[in-house]
Amino acid sequence: MTAPGGEVTGSDDFDVVTGAFSYSGAAIASGLQAAGRRVRTLTGHPGRAPAGTAIEVRPLAFGDPAGLTESLRGARTLYNTYWVRFAHGRVSHETAVAQSRVLFQAAAEAGVRRVVHVSITHPDPDSPYPYFRGKAAVEQALGDFGLAHAVLRPAILFGGNGVLLNNIAWLLRRLPVFAVGGSGEYRVRPIHVDDLARLSVQAGKSTETEVVDAVGPERPTFLELVHFIKDAVGSRSQVIRVPGPLIPPAARLLGLTLRDTLLTGDEYQALADGLADTDGPATGEASLTQWITDHKGTLGRTYANELARHFR
Ligand SMILES: NC(=O)c1ccc[n+]([C@@H]2O[C@H](COP(=O)([O-])OP(=O)(O)OC[C@H]3O[C@@H](n4cnc5c(N)ncnc54)[C@H](OP(=O)(O)O)[C@@H]3O)[C@@H](O)[C@H]2O)c1
């Protein structure tokens, strides 16, 4: 049943998506709506709801587990995109693990039938990187709470208003020199955010416990990717290779001028370690290079600020 204003009520069959007004959550929510599903979102940014949205909004309030449970009660599937990109202020990957556990416990208590969880390629409890260790702990937590689940593991997302490719293009449009760390020969395997959404909606329909790498058909080296974006946006920037240890301080300096965290040392190192690449078959369909070509006029025209999106 739906009350006036799109409010999902009573025994209505609906799904819950975290962050339906942010990045991948928005794509998943619209994929679900296109499949005829009613959607409720849990978000820290209710003010970003587009006017007239049919998505019902509830707070992503980890300090109120009972409220979370109520928001999840009656939902068929929880699509979970919640995570934090890097530690900043009082937020860390450790707190994100603890909060993910709060969310899963609420889902279990609410009787949610299935969780479709967005993770990362190569989560590892023994990883030197808190991001990848944390992701392994969150995947583990799904089982700990006895939740039927599917895990989708993207490496990098592109499409929509994503940050990474946009900001590479932004830098290439403005700087005379673009520095690539080390050999630049490490590969990346981005997937279009709508392909991730399609896989998520599919995984929501299944009853299998499954873990799927969500990766696209193209696997350029990072150096190839930067050159492709440079040519597409008509940048005159010189792409140079520099020793890897120079990248984090250079990114920090740029971040200071942009009032953002451009790239953390761990993010660079994980990329250089090949953690944004996989060997298996592609599960995404959209071509990365075609998408860059199609969006060359707008890509990197404005800077996408991660701190403004999620930390202020
Ligand atoms: N983006 C990529 O390239 C990429 C690559 C690999 C894996 N992934 C994984 O994909 C999932 C979704 O990523 P995304 O880029 O689509 O994220 P997103 O939409 O920007 O955010 C996803 C959810 O996390 C919440 N969130 C993000 N940062 C937060 C912070 N600092 N404090 C509190 N809440 C925060 C958002 O809250 P609001 O609802 O308030 O916005 C939203 O509900 C994550 O698990 C991520 O690890 C992403």
Q: What's the confidence (pLDDT) of residue 207? A: 92
pLDDT at 303 over 90: yes
Q: What's the confidence (pLDDT) of residue 312? A: 77
Residue 12 pLDDT class (50, 70, 90 cuts): low
Which of 83, 93, 165, 166, when mutated, tests ligand 1's pocket best, judged by the most ligand atoms within 8 Å of its CB? 83
How many CA atoms, within 13 angstroms, populate the side-chain half-sphere of residue 185? Answer: 1
Which of 17, 21, 23, when mutated, tests ligand 1's pocket best, judged by the most ligand atoms within 8 Å of its CB? 23
pTM of the complete model beyond 0.85: yes
**For tokens 């603890």, what's the residue?**
98
Nearest-CA residue for ligand 1 atom 11 is 81
pLDDT at 168 over 80: yes
Calculate the dihedral angle through the C-alpha atoms of 156, 130, 260, 231, rounding to the nearest 10 degrees: -30
What spatial distance separates the first Cα and last Cα of the chain, rounded to whole Å?
A: 36
pLDDT at 7 over 70: no
Strands 149-154 and 114-118: parallel
Q: Is the CB of 19 under 6 A from ligand 1?
A: yes
pLDDT digits (tens, 9 = 90+) for 183-202: 999 999 999 999 999 999 99
- Spatial contact of 108 and 146, defined as CB atoms under 8 Å apart: yes
Backbone φ and ψ for 52, nearest 5 degrees, come out as 75, 10
Q: Is the CB of 91 under 6 A from ligand 1?
A: yes
pLDDT digits (tens, 9 = 90+) for 243-258: 999 999 999 999 999 9
Which of 24, 30, 104, 117, when mutated, tests ligand 1's pocket best, judged by the most ligand atoms within 8 Å of its CB? 24
